[in-house]
Every structure is written in structure tokens, then in C-alpha cells.
Amino acid sequence: MTSPTIEIPPSVAAGEPFEAVLSGTVRPLADDVDRTGRFPREGVRALADAGLLGLLSARESGGAGGDLRQAAEVIEHLAGTCGSTAMVLLMHYAAVTVIDRHGPQEVRREITQGRHLSTLAFSEKGSRSHFWAPVGTAVPEDARTVRLDAEKSWVTSAGEADSYVWSSRPLGADGAMTLWLVPAGSAGLHVRGDYDGFGLRGNASSPVTGEGVSVPRTAMLGADGAGLDVALQLALPCFLVLSAAFSLGVTEALLELTARHLGAAHLEHLGRSLAEEPLPRQHYARLRLRADALRAFLDDTLSALATGRADAQLKVLQVKALAAEAAAEVADGAMRLCGGAAFRRETGVERRFRDALAARVMAPTTETLHDFCGRAGLGLPLFEEAR
């Protein structure tokens, strides 16, 4: 990868470098990435060369100093083109929020130079989607090093990323968890099999086991025991908001493909297109309304975060749940409206249908977020204490 000169325009998604990445690399390879399940290395490399790995990195580190709204634009457009590539970048951005605040300068610089891809390693076999309750351990080896052991259940870019933002139980302090920056080449890290999933087939989301992984104490990201606070302040808002942008991007792509089908498919015996039939029009209108409502809610969430509104935390918790269900509803509706044509790979509908369903089950799941929102609305703590 070449070292990019980062000049990010106010509207990243409308910028020439990003458009070139979409049209020149990501779009032509999207079907092959999905069909074969291979990691979208070419797309990630093109994003790196365009300076987009460092979009959220601080200018002091050589990054663009971009904001979450700009990142949401990028993820939305990527998701509508290739969900796998979008998810890889989404998880990188979530990890960067932590690394840019607490990580070493050399790694931050590598990210802005397009030479370092990171990701989150939170979900575990023992606590499943309850990312806030890791069972993986951190044990002192000596005065300078720590041993990490864990069975991570879902890690995007597993075996492809250069580092993992890794959660464990605290080393010795009180608190729910501690975060570490673990180099991907560390001895004791093992990717457990290739990902062969229903959707997002190229995002390399596989289990990663850490068996006696030795890291220096300086690899700690933030204070010991403060990992949950760091995650809640940095990684989780980024992940939830960008997940909503991902769902919106897939939703918009589905609606575009559906509109195209309704206009092109004809009932020859009646001399009318499906778009001229009232029932398909009404069904399409309901789906369009769902997407427009999601866009308005996402925009309001971004505004709440940018201005520090009192309801910002609640909006962040709500937006992924709303987006995941809206995307699933639109995906189902698109399949019905497009009929048998939707089952053919070349239409692009079935690929987006499969990608759209991922947000429901990615931690925090829709059900978990509903519980969080209920707790927040009723004045209860978000998390139950581990026993």
C-alpha cells in the first residue's frame, strides 16, 4: 500500500477518491467476494490508498480528523455496494476510536498511512453476545508482560487484520473488563476455521483463540478495569451508529433494485408494468417510508452526538435496533416484490437480503438493545452485574 495524502472533503461519499474506489474496485468484485467468500483485500487496499483507513484518526497522528457523520456516509455507500467490505471498514473504525485515544503512536501513524487494519475482538464463547462480560483472562507473567487467554467467538477480519482490540477480565483492578492491543502475529493466536456464512460472506468473521498470548503491559488500552467505560464512550457508539448506516446502505440498494424491477417487469396481457399496478406501488411506498424514517432517525442521532444532547446515549442505543429491523423488513419486502427474479444472483437482491439480516444478530442484538433502551427509559442500570 502507498502512503496516502489525506485530504478528506466535507462530503466524503461524494469525493472523487472514494467514488473511484467504489466504481473501480469494490463494485466489480462484490459478487465474486460474496460467491467465493473470500476476504475483499483489493477493496480494503484501495480504501487504504485513498486515505480512508485514517478517516477517524486525529490530525496530530496524520489522520483526517473526520467525524462520525463522514464515516457513516462512507459505510452507507460501501454497504450498498459490498456488505463484506463495508463491515471490515466498520469494525476497523470502531477499533480505531480506541486506538487513537489510547494506543501507541506508531500504530496510530501506520493506520493513517494505510498500513494497518484493526478490528474488535469482544464477543466470546463463554459470554456470547454479552460483550460487556468477558470470561477471557489476563494474568501477570512478570513485571513487564501479561498472558492473555480467551475464546473469541466472532472476530471480523480474523486472520486478515494487523491487530485486535481485545477484551479480557481485569488484570487486578475492579471493573468489568480491560482492553488490550494485540498484534495479529502474536504467538498463541489461532483463527479457528474459515468463515462460510449466510451473509457478509467475505468479512472473515471467524473464532479466534488466544492460548498463552504474551503482550507487554504497555499494550493495555486505558486503565486496568476501565475497558467497559472505554468501550461505551468510544467503540460502542461508533459501532452502533455505523451499523445503522450499514443497514441504511443495504436498504437503499434493495429499494433501488426493487424500483428498477417494478419498472422493467411487464404484464404483457394488460400492457402495464408492475410499477403501474396499485398493490406493488403501495407495498413499495411502505418500504420507502421505512427507509426514509430510518434516515431521519440516523441523522437525528448524529446531531444528538455532535451537539451533546441529553438524549444522545438513548438515541445511540435505539438506532441500531431500529435500523436492523427496518433493513430486515425492506429486504423481505424486496424479495416479495421482485418475486422469482430476486432469487437469481445476477439481480443483486438476494445478496443484499442476506447481508441485511446480519445486523439483527450482531452484538448487541436487537433484543439486547431493546432491553438496554427499556432500562434507560425506566432509570435502571444498563448492565446486570456478573455473578
Domain annotation covers residue 44: yes
Residues 366 and 232 reside in one and the same domain: yes
The closest of 180, 239, 183 to 56, measured between CA atoms, is: 239
- Of 116, 132, 153, the residue at which a domain comes to its end is 116
pLDDT of residue 13: 61
Question: Are 108 and 125 within one domain?
Answer: no
Number of domains in the chain: 3
User: Is 387 within the bounds of a domain?
Assistant: no
Q: Which are the contacts of 286, defined by CB distance < 8 A and separation ≥ 6?
A: 333
Same domain, 199 and 234: no
End-of-domain residue from the set 116, 147, 172: 116
- C-alpha distances (whole Å) from 271 to each of 83, 199, 267, 283, 368 are 37, 38, 6, 21, 49
Of 223, 253, 280, the residue at which a domain comes to its end is 223
**Residue 162 CA, distance from chain mean position:** 17
User: Cα(278)–Cα(267) distance, rounded to whole angstroms?
Assistant: 13
Residues 349 and 257 in one domain: yes
Whether 143 and 49 map to the same domain: the answer is no
In this predicted structure, what is the pLDDT of residue 3? 46
Do 294 and 322 form a contact (C-beta atoms < 8 A)?
Answer: yes
Residue in the block written with cell 467525524:
67
With respect to residue 383, please indicate whether it lies within any of the assigned structural domains.
Answer: no
Question: For residue 346, with 0-12 CB atoms within 10 Å meaning exposed, 13-18 middle and 19 or more buried, which class applies?
Answer: exposed
pLDDT tens, position by position, 198-236: 999 999 999 999 999 999 999 999 999 999 999 999 999
Residue 12 confidence (pLDDT): 62
Report the CATH number at residue 344.
1.20.140.10
310 and 197 housed in the same domain:
no
Half-sphere exposure of 29 (CA within 13 A, CB side): 21
208, part of any domain: yes
Domain presence at residue 4: no
Assess whether 163 and 60 both reside in one domain.
Answer: no
Whether residues 142 and 208 fall in one domain: yes
| 246 in the same domain as 320 | yes
Confidence (pLDDT) at 240: 98
What parts of the chain have a pLDDT lower than 70?
Answer: 1-15, 385-387
Tell me the CATH number at 152: 2.40.110.10
Q: Are residues 100 and 145 in the same domain?
A: no
Residue 382 located in a structural domain: no
Q: What is the reported pLDDT for 157?
A: 98
89 and 153, same domain (yes or no) = no
CA atoms of 5 and 354, how far apart (whole Å): 36
Per-residue HEC secondary structure of the chain comes to CCCCCCCCCCCHHHCHHHHHHHHHHHHHHHHHHHHHCCCCHHHHHHHHHCCHHHCCCCHHHCCCCCCHHHHHHHHHHHHHHCHHHHHHHHHHHHHHHHHHHHCCHHHHHHHHCCCCCEEEECCECCCECCCCCCCCEEEECCCCEEEEEEEEEEECCCCCCCEEEEEECCCCCCCCEEEEEEECCCCCEEECCCCCCCCCCCCCCEEEEEEEEEEEHHHECCCCCEHHHHHHHHHHHHHHHHHHHHHHHHHHHHHHHHHHHHHHCEECCCCEEHHHCHHHHHHHHHHHHHHHHHHHHHHHHHHHHHHCCCCHHHHHHHHHHHHHHHHHHHHHHHHHHHHHHHHCHHHCHHHHHHHHCHHHHCCCCHHHHHHHHHHHHCCCCCCCCCC
Could you tell me the residue range of the domain that residue 90 belongs to?
Answer: 12-116
Do 131 and 31 share a structural domain?
no
Count Cβ atoms within 10 A of the Cβ of residue 11 and give its class: 0-12 exposed, 13-18 middle, 19 or more buried.
exposed
Residue 386 lies in a domain: no
The reported pLDDT for the residue numbered 2 is 46
